[in-house]
Chains A and B, each alone.
Chain A
Amino acid sequence: MEQFLQSIDALTIKFTLAAVLLPLLAFVLNMCFGARSNKFTGWLSTVAILVSCVLSALIFSKVWNGHQVHQQVLWFTIGNTSVYTGILLNNLSVLMLLLVSLIALPVHIYSIAYMRHDSGYSRYFAYLSLFSFSMLALVVADNLVLLYIFWELVGFSSYLLIGFWFTRDKAVIANKKAFIMNRIGDIGLLTAIIILFAMFHTFDIEKLFGPDGLVGKSSFITAQIEFNGQPTRFESVWILFASSGNRALPAIWQYIAFAGIFLAVAAKSAQFPLHTWLPDAMEGPTSVSALIHAATMVAAGVFLLGRVYPMFNSTELTILAVVGCFTAFMAATIALTQNDLKRILAYSTISQLGYMVMAMGVGAYGSSLFHLVTHAFFKCLLFLAAGIVIHQMGHIRDDNNLSIDPQNIQNMGGLRKKLPFTFIAALIGALALVGLPLTSGFLSKDSILIQAFEWSGDKSVFLKLIPVFALITTWLTAFYVTRMIVKVFFGDLRVAESTPALKVHITDGTWLYKVPLALLAICCLFPFFSANPLVYERSWLFGGFGNATNPEAVNIYHALVPVGVNILSILVIWYGYIIYTKRRANPFPQTGALFNLACNEWYFDSIYQRIIIKPLLALCRASFWFDRRIIDNFIVFFAKFSIGLARLAAWCDRNIIDGFLNLLVITVRTIGNFVRRFQGGKVQYYLYSMLVVILAIFIWIILDGR
């Protein structure tokens, strides 16, 4: 039996390796052999991700709610520390594995049609495969260093895809911004990993955060510190009593590690204060926004929280809850006022990610991951639908030589008649986003809200505001979603009002567009997650994370919250529908401090511009000035001094040392030349010289004799 289980595990590991490495293979092949517009490349990537998806489903069925599979090999040894690397498959990682491949598959299919006419077709699919590979590897990595590597790689492929149309200035600025923001988070993650290693001497996720991991065993105690043998003061110490020896660090390091993890999560999952890159990241192709910036990569932060969950203490969890709630509320208010279709969805994504982080903070671990999964499906669906709408608006613009922004919802309207399929898909996605009953969003969102209320029961007044704001955010969500859907799909096409003779030939597109939408739309409905559309505890996904909440412990919130939320949501939707179907351009006054606050995205960009970027640029300029004026001048002076010295040396060399040698040479040559004249082979000359010499001797003798 043991033998049998081991062979099954080995097979599972092999499947996982194949599922992770296939997209990498597709990336390498596309990079090596992808011609500029080779249609084959798209299918290659799609087939790779399809096989990955099937394998992921197999792995999922084996591991989900079963025993976890963990296999590792020795990676490297430094000193006495051996670092192992391998694959860790538990409920969390197989769920993410399946989710990522399941979302990536429709996006790949959709992209084949969506990017058909792009000159960078092969490059696009190569990047997409690279992203799929790094994301799949990220979720199965069993060690923090490996996790960090793929964390970086995911950020890098996101950078490549945001700047996919690198000839557009805005895309280049956006991908730079995303990359820098993510770097800040990466540094946080690295710091946290280093601190954890310093404390626990291992990178292994299971050893650190597993059911009986080291992090869980460590604790805080107040101890007296000895300094030079003298007891001085009491200090809080982070201590671990382990069989291999006790280890301790000052408690502050635990908080620094938390801050690092938080930064990493905030950067990847676009939480306040590092959220500003995500709306700008919409400069990439819409299919990329759907896959990376709505469904999978931005969820990596929440996934990381899930991985390292045992290390947080109650203070830290509260910080997470506050930040998540604030982000959710802020992003929802911003989404109310935006006119760019993709920007609305981006802020909606930030808002929903805020929900997930908040859920982690209030201890609703299972609900957070549940919402992560449901959100991935409906947000991906909404983005793909938005992609079709933008594509078709682009067609209208090109057919009629208009100069409109195809992403501006003020120009749209009435598209439900032209794009019926897209309309239905978007409607399902929107209802799931609002969280109306019978959709997956209802289950996950209500589970978060109910647990937030339960959590706040014995907390201070300030913390009681968290579930309240989460509730308000739900209604804000309902409103902006209604606004978006009504402006895009209801009424009449707004462009047609200014241009009466408008030619509109638009359709839902081929099956390449329809199949992914249909697939995702089905995944947005309740039967995919739970047999009972109204009680989230019955969901298999929620059960997979074995939370303490059991279905019997029904309190007042379990009835009140869903009913209250949904009745008000429906009222809000009805109100929004009434307002926006009147088709006035702006039913609300476009003035006021609150409107400006929301419309300018809470001035975060200008605040960062003023507080961080400007001083930073000033510092850069100062350093540049210092570098140019002082260091460079010193170096230039030094160089000039050296040149002078060298010139002097050269002069000495040329004139004195060389001169001496030249003098020697000239002397020798002169003597030689003088002497060889006598050896000219002319007999008479010899005689003549003999004569001269003899005469000279005679004259000398005569003169001497005097």
Chain B
Amino acid sequence: MISLTDFMMVSAGLFCIGLYMIVTKRNAIQILIGIEFMLNAAILNLVAFGKFDRLNNGGQMFALFAIVLAAATTAVALAIILNVYKKYKTIDPGQIDQLKD
């Protein structure tokens, strides 16, 4: 029987992988992928906790909303990345440091 703990472990693993990607990767698209990983970890938690909800399928509904929103943010983020690439000829966030002192 798959317990809630197992869902939590998978979710935590996904989150950590995403977080690791965000912190270490030198490519904005890979970082975007990392963000998606973390989002999906959160969605997985929503779905797993939905079992203990008094309303049926409340968690799944939220997961669907979150997926849609994630798709929208990804589209926006990709557009930003494209524009960044146009301006800086790179998508390495480590080199886009014009905001520093």
Partner of A687, one of B22, B98, B99, B100: B22
Partner of B94, one of A676, A679, A684, A691: A684
A684 contacts B97, C-beta separation under 8 Å: no
Q: Which of B35-92 contact A (CB under 8 A)?
A: none
Chain B contact patch, size range: 10 to 19
A304 CB to nearest chain B CB (Å): 92
B15 CB to nearest chain A CB (Å): 11
A505 interface residue (CB < 8 Å to B): no
A82 CB to nearest chain B CB (Å): 81
Residue in chain B with minimal CB distance to A676: B101
B49 CB to nearest chain A CB (Å): 21
- How far apart are the CA atoms of A153 and B71 in the complex, in Å? 114
Partner of B23, one of A676, A680, A681, A684: A684
A168 interface residue (CB < 8 Å to B): no
Partner of A682, one of B22, B25, B97: B97
A680 contacts B100, C-beta separation under 8 Å: yes
A678 CB to nearest chain B CB (Å): 10
- Chain A binding surface SS class: helix
A560 interface residue (CB < 8 Å to B): no
- How far apart are the CA atoms of A688 and B101 in the complex, in Å? 19
- How far apart are the CA atoms of A687 and B99 in the complex, in Å? 15
Residue in chain A with minimal CB distance to B23: A688
B101 contacts A684, C-beta separation under 8 Å: no
List A contacts of B98 (CB < 8 A).
681
List A contacts of B101 (CB < 8 A).
676, 679, 681
Residue in chain A with minimal CB distance to B31: A684
List B contacts of A683 (CB < 8 A).
93, 96
Interface centre among A681, A687, A688, A691 (most CB of B within 10 A): A681
B99 contacts A691, C-beta separation under 8 Å: no
A684 contacts B93, C-beta separation under 8 Å: yes
Chain A contact patch, size range: 10 to 19
- How far apart are the CA atoms of A323 and B27 in the complex, in Å? 121
- How far apart are the CA atoms of A681 and B92 in the complex, in Å? 12
Partner of B100, one of A681, A684, A688: A681
- How far apart are the CA atoms of A269 and B31 in the complex, in Å? 116
B23 contacts A682, C-beta separation under 8 Å: no
B19 interface residue (CB < 8 Å to A): yes
A682 contacts B93, C-beta separation under 8 Å: yes
A679 contacts B100, C-beta separation under 8 Å: yes
- How far apart are the CA atoms of A681 and B95 in the complex, in Å? 9
- How far apart are the CA atoms of A683 and B99 in the complex, in Å? 10
B5 interface residue (CB < 8 Å to A): no
- How far apart are the CA atoms of A470 and B49 in the complex, in Å? 152
List A contacts of B94 (CB < 8 A).
682, 684
B23 contacts A691, C-beta separation under 8 Å: yes
- How far apart are the CA atoms of A687 and B94 in the complex, in Å? 12
- How far apart are the CA atoms of A308 and B15 in the complex, in Å? 125
B24 interface residue (CB < 8 Å to A): yes
Binary contact readout A632-644 vs B (1 if CB under 8 angstroms, 0 otherwise)? 0000000000000
List A contacts of B97 (CB < 8 A).
680-682
Residue in chain A with minimal CB distance to B98: A681
B24 contacts A684, C-beta separation under 8 Å: yes
Binary contact readout B3-44 vs A (1 if CB under 8 angstroms, 0 otherwise)? 000000000000000010011110000010000000000000
B100 CB to nearest chain A CB (Å): 3
12 pairs of residues in contact across A and B, judged by CB atoms under 8 Å = A679-B100, A681-B96, A681-B99, A681-B100, A682-B93, A682-B94, A682-B100, A684-B22, A684-B23, A684-B24, A687-B22, A691-B23
5 additional contacts (CB under 8 A) given A683-B96, A684-B24: A681-B96, A681-B100, A684-B23, A684-B25, A684-B93
Q: Closest 4 A-B residue pairs measured CB to CB?
A: A681-B100, A681-B97, A683-B93, A688-B23
